[in-house]
Chain A
């Protein structure tokens, strides 16, 4: 009974710590983001008023129009003149979407609109997500040997003690991972995506690799992007890593 009690205690301790962590995050986010939000809101209000003053449009008519535009925009349909004529659902983009679905990243920049699409994505996800997990764990297991054990063995043979060898190897690996998966793609993104800064590129890489996938940055969705399909395929490959 003592052990059972201790495990429950541990669990509640964990939950409590988790809640505190969330509260802490909430406070920090709130204090950072809220001022900017307020500023944006006032700017938009001013813009709207200017527009209404200049033109003969009534408030109600503008509201209706804006609602419709926003509803369409939510699903990725843009009303702007220079919006790309390529669809959001051509083969490469659909594959990109399917990839975000099975890796559970889920950007949300394009979402299924039709009912059948939604039903199909439910089924597709239910099968695809565990499957992808299995594949990824298998790959990780397989890569473990040449990536971890062999170099550590090499280091050990070259004279290092096991513990420092592991630490050295870990540091090298960390640096390699950061270079390959964060810095290099971020550099590429900041070159290709016009409105992204380097920090935005790193932010995007991180959010995608953790499968959070907020969707505020999605590569390849700018209008008139060249080689869009190729680009999206490359991003997909990086994401599935």
Chain B
């Protein structure tokens, strides 16, 4: 789907309808109804396979690093818990090992279902009360999918599938709409800034700086602030809070950290009622913000490439024009020069003829001078015809002129005659 130029200030001011840009979720089921617009060039197979191999390489690198980092930690955890089990069995001699295994198995599957077996059954809030279900529905639609709560009945699972099928595109549209609004606001802001700036700064520089400021500002609101809040309320460390924010806003959503999870059984139910919806709202706006940033950067790159192409095209056109002008000028000069020289030689030749004929007839020089002037006049009358016939078809004439020149120079050009003609002129 083609998005109009977002960062162009004029179009941003006129840009009033919410456009649909690409949703950030990868499209799995696509509609063939949208004619593939060829504004973006389709990559060749070679490029696609090259990128694919790069992705595989990236995955392999990640896998090796994760393994190196996590495996030792995991083995130490395993040893610790096994030691605990043995301790427990040793301390309580009446407990059978197999009985314990059974209990643990049941407990683990119960925890998987979301039921917490520790503590009393009475002071626990359900995991499926309205606010938690709302939160769960939100995680399904945004495709984050924490997994700390998940449906266990068959009916629940079937409903989950249908619900997600309808809800994910709905959320995609919402995200696109909010992202576009944010982008439009930002585009208008840039337009205002561009008007305000008095000194000459290139448009690209303004856009780069303002995009960076926008990203920074957004990071402050949507990342730094929630990190501080989560640290304070949930009691996580800084790294864990940042980890949770990033994992949630990229919609990965592991579920090892979930905001509002510990608050089940907290002693302040009033604040809990506001906490979860606020977290959900933050997720929505944060996702929209990231979508807006991504679409803006995408638009910007498209604009840059288009502008660069235009500029390069303009430059090329200018250069071609200049070259054409220069060569035309050059040809003109050559033509004029060759015509000029041709004229001079013609005159020299005719003068020579007349002189020789007059010298042959008359013995006096002074009538020769008079006749020279008359012949010159005559010849000058003859010249316009000559020049007129020379004017069209400069190219061929230039060639002819040069030919003439070439033809004239060795045979007729004589230095003395040239200087004579020059003195006459």
| Given contact pairs A27-B130, A203-B160, A106 touches B70 in the complex (Cβ within 8 A) | no
Q: Is B106 an interface residue (CB 8 A)?
A: yes
| Complex Cα spacing A47 to B104, Å | 11
State in angstroms the CA–CA spacing of A207 and B178 once bound together: 25
Chain A 45-67 residues near chain B, CB threshold 8 A: 45, 47-48, 51, 54-57, 61, 63, 65-67
How many angstroms between the C-alpha atoms of A116 and B66 in the bound complex? 9
Contact with A along B142-186 (1 / 0, CB 8 A): 011111001111111111110111111011011001100100000
Known interface pairs A67-B118, A75-B77, A89-B67; A101-B252 also in contact (CB < 8 Å): yes
Instruction: Give the residues in chain B near A161, CB-CB below 8 Å.
Output: none
Q: Are B246 and A122 in contact (CB under 8 A)?
A: yes
* Chain A residue at smallest Cβ distance from B105: A80
Assess the B17–A7 pair: CB atoms within 8 A: yes
Q: Which residues of B contact A69 (CB under 8 A)?
A: 81, 84-85, 104, 107-108
Asked if B419 is an interface residue, CB under 8 A from chain A, the answer is no
Among the listed A80, A107, A140, A206, which residue makes an inter-chain contact with B104, where contact means beta carbons less than 8 Å apart? A80
Asked if B74 contacts A88 (CB within 8 A), the reply is yes
Q: Which of chain B's residues has its CB closest to A22's CB?
A: B137
A126 CA / B170 CA spacing, docked (Å): 25
Q: Which residue of A lies closest to B119 (CB)?
A: A63
A166 to B30, CA, bound (A): 13
What B residues does A136 contact at CB under 8 A? 26-27
Nearest A residue (CB) for B71: A89
Find out whether the CB atom of B118 lies under 8 angstroms from the CB atom of A70. Answer: yes
Contacting pair A214 B66 (CB below 8 A) = no
Report yes or no: A68 in contact with B81, Cβ–Cβ below 8 A: yes
Q: Is the CB of A120 within 8 A of B92?
A: no
- Distance of A215 Cα from B255 Cα, bound (Å): 9
Point out the residues of chain B lying under 8 angstroms from A66, CB to CB.
104, 107, 117-118
**A211-B25 CB under 8 A given contacts A51-B103, A108-B146:** yes
Please indicate the chain B residues that have their CB under 8 angstroms from the CB of A15 in the complex.
174, 178
Task: Tell me which residues from 203 to 224 in chain A have a Cβ below 8 Å from any Cβ of chain B.
Answer: 203, 206-207, 209-216
**B133, A199: Cβ atoms closer than 8 Å:** no
Residue of B nearest to A236 (CB): B59
Q: A54-B99, A90-B67 are in contact. Are A25 and B133 (CB under 8 A)?
A: yes
| Chain A interface, >50% SS class | helix
Interface range for B:
35 or more
A104 an interface residue at 8 Å Cβ cutoff?
A: yes
Task: Decide: A55 and B143 in contact? CB cutoff 8 A.
Answer: no
A125–B209 Cα distance when bound, in Å, is 25
Question: CB distance B255 to A108 under 8 Å?
Answer: yes
> Shortest distance in angstroms between B153's beta carbon and chain A's nearest beta carbon?
5
B217 close to A (CB within 8 Å): no
Are B110 and A32 touching (Cβ within 8 A)? no
Instruction: Give the CA-CA distance A55 to B110 in the complex, in Å.
Output: 21
Judge whether B136 is part of the interface by a CB distance below 8 angstroms. Answer: yes
* A206 CB, min distance to chain B CBs, angstroms: 5
**Distance of A127 from chain B, by nearest CB (Å):** 8
Choose from B127, B141, B150, B161 the contact partner of A216 (Cβ within 8 Å).
Answer: B150
Q: In the complex, are the beta carbons of A107 and B55 less than 8 A apart?
A: no
CB contact under 8 A between A7 and B130, given known A63-B118, A141-B43:
no
Task: Give which listed residue, A41, A61, A132, A142, contacts B55 with CB less than 8 A.
Answer: A132
CB–CB B66/A94 < 8 A: yes
CB of A26 within 8 Å of the partner chain = yes
Give CA–CA (A11, B181) in the complex, Å.
9
Nearest Cβ on chain A to B230's Cβ, whole angstroms? 14
Question: In this assembly, does A169 line the interface, its C-beta being within 8 Å of a C-beta of chain B?
Answer: yes
Q: Is A135 an interface residue (CB 8 A)?
A: yes
Q: Are A106 and B254 in contact (CB under 8 A)?
A: yes
Chain B residues contacting A202 (CB-CB under 8 Å) are 161
Given contacts A14-B177, A51-B103, A79-B104, contact A117 B113 (CB under 8 A): no
Task: State which of B80, B145, B154, B242 has its C-beta within 8 Å of the C-beta of A214.
Answer: B145
| List of 6 A-B pairs having minimum Cβ-Cβ separation, nearest first | A3-B16, A215-B147, A212-B145, A25-B137, A106-B252, A98-B62
The 6 sampled A-B contact pairs (Cβ below 8 Å) are A26-B134, A77-B77, A80-B101, A95-B62, A108-B146, A128-B58
Interface residues of A (CB under 8 A from B): 3-4, 6-8, 10-11, 14-15, 17-18, 21-23, 25-30, 32-34, 36-38, 40-42, 44-45, 47-48, 51, 54-57, 61, 63, 65-70, 72-81, 87-91, 94-95, 97-108, 111-122, 124-126, 128-142, 144-145, 148-149, 152, 166, 169-170, 173-174, 177, 199-200, 202-203, 206-207, 209-216
